[in-house]
Amino acid sequence: MPTERNKKAFLYFSEVKNSLVFLFFFIITFFIRFPFFFRDYIDRDESTFILLGQSWADGFLPYTQLWDLKPPLTFAFFAAIISVFGKSFIAIRLAGVFLVVITSYYTYKIALSVLSKKASIIVGVLCIFLLSLFGSLQGVMSEHICIAFFIPALYFLQSKKTLGYTFLAGLLMGATVMVKLNMAFPIFFVGLYLIYEAFFAKKHINLLHVLLFGTGVLAVIFATILPYYLSDQAIVWWESVILAPLEYTEARRYSIFKLAPIFVITILFLFYAYKSNSLNFKNRTVQIVLVAIIGVLMSFVKGGRINGHYLIQLHPMLLILVAIVTQKPTTDFKLKAPKYILLIVLLIPAESYLEYANIIKNNYERKTFFNGEGFSVPSFIKNNNLETKNILFFEYHIGYWNLDTLPPTIASTHPSNICRDELFTFFDNPRKNSLEELKFIMEELRPKTVVIRKGRRILDKKEIEENEYIDAYLAKHYNNFATVENAEILQRLERP
């Protein structure tokens, strides 16, 4: 028979243990993300991270055999999973579940210091939704990894006053920036906030806390340099981790109008919070969350671009402040959620329901839950004994992983990197521009097999000259050997 205490735990949020909240978050996250465990191709970036993770697991440091524009701990995450579980999409996507659960749980823990437990749990659930749905968020992005370090670090700084936890927060912040370099901005702003506290609000922390925090950050950064230093390749780390991103942000900036919406929305929200006295700006939790938000927004300004998945870095902190602001009128006016709100919540993961139907259909038709051209194209190539030496994937490049082969050049690790010629100098590419790179691949390496996406432009629409060249070259030297789902497998014609 259930005890009175168990009944209370079931009926009242205030009695729910944190361990049960964590389990609740895991179940929701797992349910939403599980059908995507079997999808090959969710985002190009994730596929690239897997390739570099495999390269590192094979003994090659990032930026030496393959190259991409991310700090090394992004690839270390995938390398660790591959080293333990082998080539397992399920292991990678399950790791993504834990990243989202960790982020949502510590978002809930931060919120708990300023909100009721019920409101904090709702914040955590909304965090799961915003980190798992809409767009390419079902994959494991670098933003998922970095924010799973950053939010626990914020929690330790916000709630734990011991030197040990401050140092741990620094270590987590160091890991954050070695996954996403733009997170240096919020980390720097948080550091300034701690310095301010050490001098003007000494009841929280002192200067030793600040030094330990900074030491933790720098310790992780230097730890990522160490393998390069020991192999006399420190310059590779410097050029790839520091110089290349700086060059990229200057060369690939969005119009200011594309950056404006998130800034306008955030400023209007904070203005309303100030005018309505909904936020206590003297509260330490509010202050540290607000500082982090400002830092992330400043990183967007410096980077000059915002893709949808970048907002993962902003959502957890913003959710906390939004919940605080909306809690006041809800309490004052005793507003109750409409009866149909549960139905709306159940409809939010519509993408997951569709994907559940997709994997069931795929299993019925193909006798496998795994689906997508990243599986079907390599399978077709193997079954038909097509040449894989120097094979070139202009799309579905996770196919390299499933074929146990490598991209034909270091610049083609990520298909779009072929046209980012401003980065070529940072991995000592002998070709000076994207057109030279394309000509080298097509005319010197002469791949027998090329994979493209049916009915789609091969390169970005801005790359006019490159598109004209590759379209003309493929039309002259290749024919369509087969169409597999949405992929065209081209075979080189036997011409001199």
Instruction: Give the DSSP letter string of 15-45.
Output: G--HHHHHHHHHHHHHHHHGGGGGBS-S-HH
Indicate the residue among 335, 353, 388 that finishes a domain. Answer: 335
Any domain includes 361: no
Shared domain check, 413 and 289:
no
Q: Quote the pLDDT of residue 9.
A: 45
Bridge partners of 188?
A: none
CA distance 135 to 133: 7
Q: Pick the last residue of a domain from 286, 319, 335.
A: 335
Sheet holding 449-453: strands in order across? 392-393, 449-453, 487-492, 478-484
φ, ψ dihedrals at 390, nearest 5°: 60, 20
**Are 428 and 290 in the same domain?**
no
Residue 224: closest CA among 84, 72, 355:
72
107 and 231 within one domain: yes
Classify residue 54 as left (phi > 0), alpha (psi -120 to 50) or beta: alpha
* Domain identity same for 289 and 430: no
111, 154, 451 from 284: Cα distances, Å: 12, 12, 54
pLDDT in tens, 183-207: 999 999 999 999 998 888 766 678 9
- Structural domain includes residue 349: no
**345 part of a folded domain:** no
Q: Do 395 and 328 share a structural domain?
A: no
Give the DSSP per-residue string, 381-449: HHHTT---TT-EESS-TTHHHHTT---SSGGGSSGGGGG-GGGGGGGT-S--SHHHHHHIIIIII--SE
Q: How far apart are CA 151 and CA 258, in angstroms?
A: 27
Q: Which domain holds residue 378?
A: 372-492
Instruction: Look at residue 41 in the predicted model and tell me its pLDDT.
Output: 80
Tell me which residues of the chain have a pLDDT lower than 50.
Answer: 1-2, 4-11
Whether residue 348 is contained in a domain is answered as no
Q: Considering 335, 361, 394, which residue would you say is the last residue of a domain?
A: 335
Residues 476, 331 share a domain: no
**Cα–Cα dist 158/168, whole Å:** 13
109 and 156 in one domain? Answer: yes
Domain assignment present for 382? yes
Q: For residues 390 and 451, what is the distance between their CA atoms, to the nearest angstrom? A: 12
State the Rg of the chain over Cα. Answer: 25
Residues 408 and 312 in one domain: no
pLDDT, residue 399, reads: 95
| Helix 284-303 / helix 315-332 crossing angle, nearest 10 deg | 140
Q: Which two tokens stand for residue 346?
A: 């159940």
328 three-class SS: helix
Residue 482 lies in a domain: yes
pTM of the predicted protein model: 0.91
* CA angle at 298 for the pair 297 and 302, rounded to the nearest 5°: 120
Please give the Cα distance from 260 to 468 (Å, whole number): 34
Helix, strand, coil percentages in the chain from 3-state DSSP, rounded to 5:
70, 5, 25
Q: What is the structure's pLDDT at 491?
A: 97
pLDDT of residue 189: 97
pLDDT at 278: 87
Domain count of the fold of the chain: 2
List C-alpha distances in Å: 478 to 125, 244, 418, 467. 50, 35, 20, 16
- Specify whether 182 is located in the same domain as 310: yes
Q: Which amino acid, residue 281?
A: F
Burial class (CB in 10 A: 0-12, 13-18, 19+), 128: buried
Q: Answer for the pair 348, 134: CB distance below 8 angstroms, yes or no.
A: no
Same domain, 215 and 271: yes
Six-digit token string for 444: 């010197």
pLDDT at 72: 97
Question: Does residue 462 lie within any of the structural domains?
Answer: yes
Q: Are residues 184 and 315 in the same domain?
A: yes
| Pair 316, 379 in one domain | no
Burial status of residue 345 (CB atoms within 10 A of its CB: 0-12, 13-18, 19 or more): middle
**148: in domain:** yes
Each residue's pLDDT tens digit, 30-81: 999 999 999 988 888 999 999 999 999 999 999 999 999 999 999 999 999 9
